[in-house]
Structure 1
Amino acid sequence: MMWDDKTSESGAAEAAVPSGRQPILLNRRSFLGGTAVGLGALGLAGCSTTDTLLLAEARQVYGPMPDEKFPIPAADISKMDPKYYRRVVPYASTEAPGTIVVDPARFHVYRIEGDGAATRYGANVGRDGFLWHGDAYVGRKSEWATWTPPKEMIKRQPEAAKYARGMPGGLDNPLGARTLHLYQNGAYTLYTIYASSDPETIGSGITSGCVGLLSQDMIHLYARTPVKTKVVVLPA
């Protein structure tokens, strides 16, 4: 989704597109048109586990976050396919550690860890007609951002006009708890990687081009992503 907002930090950087990005894979509804632990360790080691154990660990990963400015409830992971749970996976890439790779075709976002591994998150992505690809970078970061719908969205969805002057941060705000704002050549693209509170949207194309992770996953990624981090969006 193409979102504007009124929030913090700025920066600029860009790098050439390297090859070899394909992974080795093991396997707000409103206006949507650490380190990896537990699940990640199992993914890297290639260990098998029972569905009960996997579910128990996922409930810990996606549990409530009561210390947030707006306390975040536990995610109802029964609404999400287990293949979208956060985990560390083997991932062959020439990108530098820390790089974020978005794979909209598989509804996954990867953070390159190096040594042939990546932290993998389930995601929602742009719906048909709003998909894009290319290189960008994190130009700004924001927590509980004010959301301002761009004029293009208001034309498509007139009900968004009531927020033309901005919607304050909160659990109902489409940007959620954390946002990475994507830039190209010094200019804000209006695209973001944002926090979603809707587990049923993970693994689907619903946005106007933005990429959403569950709030717990987005907070995990945000904490490990500095401004100027490279972001690679693969073709869908």
Structure 2
Amino acid sequence: MTDRSSSAGSLTRRAFVIGAGAATLAGCVSARPPSVAPQPQVPVREKRVRPPMYEALPDERFPIPAVDISRLEERFWRAEIDYDAREVPGTLIVDTPAKYLYHVRPGGRAVRYEIGVGRDGFSWAGRAIMAYRREWPRWAPPDAMVARQPELEPYSIANGGMGPGLRNPLGARALYIHKDGKDTLYRLHGTPEAWSIGKEVSSGCIRLVNQDIIHLHGSVRDGSPIVVIPDPAKRHLLAV
């Protein structure tokens, strides 16, 4: 199928800038502390057959349960599509308004992933590099985040952060984004919270279900370019 995203067709004509809030990104955690508040209620949907790509991964270091596809609409499932990106193969394109991530492949193709994005005030946009990747990463909230959410103090940098595992906000894999040789504090990472995909919930970072971030981690290469398209509603991220 062919993706019709209006954002993609004008990538080469857009200017991108790092958002002023990049230095204070909240460390890739959902709007609530990990495993504290209950998940929001969602409408009951008709039963669907789970595709093999979203089955459980029992052989992972921390066994990953199957994705609850009642919370992940079929139109958002991972797919390889026709995609005229006008970017070199290997590029990662984060379409923030559409809440899709594309991994550009040769021949006018791309793998499309549905994502959750940062809520207003903790977003970033621009051109950068996916500097490196980590399996089952540790996570530590920046000091600014701890100041806002004191309940995260046990996981602070001073206390060594949170160890890897299913409760870790970075999930099974994390991709680290650098700009001009500096860490933007912006991440692409996993989450077990399928309900959060397609929404604005994280503090700045891009989240994929764990099965999707594992797939992306295995196909992307360190040093790959990344383009993050700003949301027009967040005008502080747009170039003038």
Under a length normalisation based on structure 2, what TM-score does the superposition of the two structures give? Answer: 0.76
Q: Which residue of 1 aligns with 2:95?
A: 103
**Sequence identity (%):** 39
Q: Which residue of 1 aligns with 2:225?
A: 230
Q: Which residue of 2 aligns with 1:218?
A: 213
Q: C-alpha separation between the residues in 1 aligned to 2:167 and 2:58?
A: 16
State yes or no: 1:157 paired with 2:149: yes
Matched position secondary structure for 1:120? strand
Matched position secondary structure for 2:214? helix
Alignment partner of 1:75 out of 67, 91, 94? 67
Q: Which residue of 2 aligns with 1:64?
A: 56
The runs of at least 4 aligned residues of structure 1 exceeding 3 Å deviation read: none
Counterpart residue identity of residue 234, structure 1:
I
Q: Which residue of 1 aligns with 2:12?
A: 19
Alignment partner of 1:146 out of 138, 142, 160? 138
State yes or no: 1:188 paired with 2:183: yes
Following TM superposition, by how much is the alpha carbon of 1:59 offset from its aligned partner in structure 2, in angstroms? 2.8
Counterpart residue identity of residue 120, structure 1:
R
Root-mean-square deviation (Å)? 1.9
Matched position secondary structure for 1:148? coil
Structure 1 segments unaligned to the other structure (5+ residues): 1-16, 22-29, 34-50
Does the 8 A contact of 2:93 with 2:226 survive in 1? yes
Q: C-alpha separation between the residues in 1 aligned to 2:67 and 2:168?
A: 17
State yes or no: 1:136 paired with 2:123: no
Q: C-alpha separation between the residues in 2 aligned to 1:181 and 1:171?
A: 19
Does the 8 A contact of 1:31 with 1:160 survive in 2? no
Q: Which residue of 2 aligns with 1:4?
A: none
Under a length normalisation based on structure 1, what TM-score does the superposition of the two structures give? Answer: 0.77
Following TM superposition, by how much is the alpha carbon of 1:162 offset from its aligned partner in structure 2, in angstroms? 0.9
How many residues are matched?
A: 192
Does the 8 A contact of 2:130 with 2:222 survive in 1? yes
